[in-house]
Amino acid sequence: MLADGRLPTGGHTQSAGLEPAVRAGLGADGKQLADVGEYARDRLRTVTRIEAAVAVLARHHVPRTLEAGPDLEAITNGPTEVAQAVAGEEAAVVMARRFAQLESAWAARTPSRALRTASRRQGRAYLRLAERVWPETLRYLPRDGEIARPIVIGVIGAVTGLSAEQVARLVAYDDAQTVVAASLKLLPVDPAGAVTWLAALHDDIERLVNDVAPLTDIEKIPAGGAPLIDQFAEQHAIERMRLFHA
């Protein structure tokens, strides 16, 4: 369900940065359409890898025994934090602090304000959907909060029983298919060619999954940047005529 392009989370309003890239010349005049596949591959190596890692970490921070509610030992990593919590800090507060730290780590690796805003807007849409379909999500995240999309996806993944590999693959596939789907609206693309680009990204997606799925430490989140994608996003945010929000 989470990988379905019809999911009402605002994904149809996003092009994963392809629209501003096209404005900047990608696939100009239909002569370099293969650049779309390379653009999606570059995202998988940089910004998408960061988001997938953050989603995996968010999943990791949700207690494994969901039926029992937030478990103090499951959301703390050391005796010092456990002692602090036992001394009076509620488990929910510990978890909220962990998610705040994770969002700060994500924001530090996402320098574009436009990209951060778009991600939080999508996160809010995912959270609204989760409230209806997977209400247990609200045990770990505030209702209608503007939280980075990968964090919301990670928590939903934990609540629905997805593995770390499945969460990472979901983020990677969703990003790649967003680029490919947007190309059909922005460029003179043969739909069969678009499907071929997506299929060709399979190995890149699986490499991303293998790299980020084992992560349990915030400090290990990758920090590969894509300055042109950031620049395109900032320019796109002030465009008066645009098809996609970002």
Per-residue pLDDT of the chain in tens (246 residues, 90 and over written 9): 777 666 666 666 777 778 878 777 776 666 567 788 888 999 999 999 999 999 999 999 887 654 444 444 444 444 445 444 444 456 667 777 888 899 999 999 999 898 898 889 889 988 988 999 999 998 888 887 789 999 999 999 999 999 999 999 999 998 898 888 888 888 888 888 888 888 999 999 999 999 999 999 999 999 888 888 888 877 876 777 766 766
Residue-range definition of the domain harbouring residue 25: 11-236
pLDDT value at position 207? 96
Whole-model pTM: value is 0.84
* Residue 206 located in a structural domain: yes
* Residue 243 located in a structural domain: no
pLDDT value at position 41? 92
Give the Cα separation of 3 and 89 in Å (integer): 37
| Number of domains present in the structure of the chain | 1
pLDDT value at position 67? 42
* Residue 245 located in a structural domain: no
User: Shortest CA distance to 208 belongs to which of 21, 54, 12, 36?
Assistant: 54
* Residue 72 located in a structural domain: yes
Largest CA distance in the chain: 65
User: Shortest CA distance to 53 belongs to which of 130, 105, 121?
Assistant: 105
For 69, 166, 211, 222, 234, the CA distances from 57, given in Å and listed in that order, are 19, 13, 13, 12, 27
* Residue 114 located in a structural domain: yes
What's 65's DSSP letter? -
Q: What are phi and psi of 197, to 5 degrees?
A: -60, -45
